[in-house]
């Protein structure tokens, strides 16, 4: 079988043996947003053609490949949703020469009725051992970070924060671009930003302080991006988690570590889950499907 985690900006695939062991893997920047309408099968074959086997033509995919502008829309399931509901929501593609299927995404609504959606993160959650817990709180850092609450073993509610998108946009399209071109690598400046996020003043005012700290010589341009990152992640964590939460982090280890450091500053206990959650989730779903 071939398992594919096809996100907005990135593509990752795994060739799996009969026992679910990884025989080969590859990743590229061929994200779903870069594929033209009607071009998804060709894009997939460009990545995994050498793996195709007539004896096993099964392909299971998750992520933005199932979005409205993806290969084929896998309709959102409304939360709360557990493993059985997600399994039933898997759709089958009419793709020539393969038995290809897509895992559905989820939709929820906040207290005011505003909708929120996810695609791919549900599969990562299903690949975590902590998912079997009844009231676990997950955080999946990324361009659009997801904060997910499990309720009685199901994904009960979730909220998205565009922190990653904001970080990029601020560095590319605001006055702060002049002082935040260095890549963030200063842990002390990051923690200063986290601390600042918990002080008086709304976020827009705090952000302008990045410029004035550099302008007055109180911070070097080498540290400004790290400080900005701390401000944004700190603001997110402060509003999305609480000291009563035991948060499980899923995703890129370096980014999860930044979130963990921010949580520690606010007295929040967190654990970074092992890498490969999406693959484990896809394998778990695949083993329960009727192929």
User: Do 92 and 182 share a domain, yes or no?
Assistant: no
Q: Is residue 197 part of a domain?
A: yes
**Beta pairing, strands 99-102 & 91-92:** antiparallel
Sign of the C-alpha dihedral computed for residues 162, 167, 170 and 172 taken in this order: negative
Query: What's this model's pTM, rounded to 2 decimal places?
Result: 0.94
pLDDT at 129: 77
Under a CB-based contact definition with an 8 Å cutoff, are residues 272 and 249 in contact? yes
**Burial class of residue 236, CB neighbours in 10 A (0-12, 13-18, 19+):** buried
User: Do 172 and 93 share a domain, yes or no?
Assistant: no
Q: Is residue 238 part of a domain?
A: yes
Q: Is residue 13 part of a domain?
A: yes
User: Do 169 and 248 share a domain, yes or no?
Assistant: yes
How many residues does the structure list for the chain? 291
pLDDT at 133: 62
Range of the domain at 193: 163-272
For residue 160, give the H/E element and its range.
strand 154-161
Distances (CA, A) of 8 to 12, 14, 103, 118: 11, 18, 15, 12
Under a CB-based contact definition with an 8 Å cutoff, are residues 66 and 72 in contact? yes
User: Do 96 and 182 share a domain, yes or no?
Assistant: no
Q: Is residue 285 part of a domain?
A: no
3-state secondary structure (DSSP) of residue 184:
coil
Q: Is residue 140 part of a domain?
A: no
For residue 117, give the H/E element and its range.
strand 115-118
pLDDT at 75: 97
User: Do 93 and 178 share a domain, yes or no?
Assistant: no
User: Do 77 and 178 share a domain, yes or no?
Assistant: no
Rounded distance, CA 286 to CA 288, Å?
5
pLDDT at 259: 98
3-state secondary structure (DSSP) of residue 25:
strand
End residue of a domain, out of 66, 86, 107: 107
Q: Is residue 158 part of a domain?
A: no
Residue 223 belongs to domain with CATH number: 3.30.420.310
Residues with pLDDT less than 50, the chain: none
For residue 233, give the H/E element and its range.
helix 221-240
User: Do 187 and 100 share a domain, yes or no?
Assistant: no
Q: Is residue 103 part of a domain?
A: yes
Residue 67 belongs to domain with CATH number: 3.30.420.300
pLDDT at 256: 98
Counted domains in the chain = 2
Q: Is residue 278 part of a domain?
A: no
DSSP-assigned beta bridge partners for residue 62: 5
Rounded distance, CA 238 to CA 28, Å?
34
């Amino acid at each position: 079988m071939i398992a594919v985690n096809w996100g907005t900006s990135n593509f990752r695939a795994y060739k799996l043996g009969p026992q679910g062991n990884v025989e080969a893997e590859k990743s590229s920047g061929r994200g779903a947003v870069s594929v033209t309408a009607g071009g998804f099968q060709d894009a997939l074959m460009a990545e995994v053609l050498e793996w195709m086997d007539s004896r096993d033509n099964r392909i299971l995919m998750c992520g933005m490949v199932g979005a409205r502008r993806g290969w084929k829309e896998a309709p959102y399931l409304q939360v709360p949703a557990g493993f059985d509901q997600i399994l039933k929501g898997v759709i089958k593609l009419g793709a020539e020469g393969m038995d290809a299927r897509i895992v559905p995404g989820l939709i929820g609504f906040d207290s005011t009725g505003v909708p929120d959606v996810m695609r791919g993160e549900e599969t990562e959650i299903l690949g975590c051992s902590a998912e079997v817990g009844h009231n676990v709180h997950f955080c999946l850092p990324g361009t659009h970070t997801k904060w997910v609450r499990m309720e009685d073993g199901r994904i009960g509610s979730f909220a998205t924060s565009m922190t990653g998108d904001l970080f990029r946009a601020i560095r590319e399209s605001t006055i702060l671009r002049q002082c935040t071109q260095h890549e963030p690598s200063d842990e002390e400046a990051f923690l200063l930003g986290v601390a600042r996020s918990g002080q008086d003043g709304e976020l827009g005012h705090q952000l302008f302080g990045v410029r004035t700290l550099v302008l007055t010589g109180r911070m070097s341009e080498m540290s400004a991006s790290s400080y900005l990152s701390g401000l944004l992640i700190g603001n997110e964590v402060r509003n999305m988690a609480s000291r009563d939460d035991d948060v499980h982090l899923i995703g890129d280890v370096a980014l999860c570590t930044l979130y963990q450091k921010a949580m520690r500053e606010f007295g929040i206990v967190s654990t970074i889950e092992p890498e490969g959650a999406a693959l484990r989730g896809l394998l778990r779903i695949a083993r329960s499907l009727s192929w």
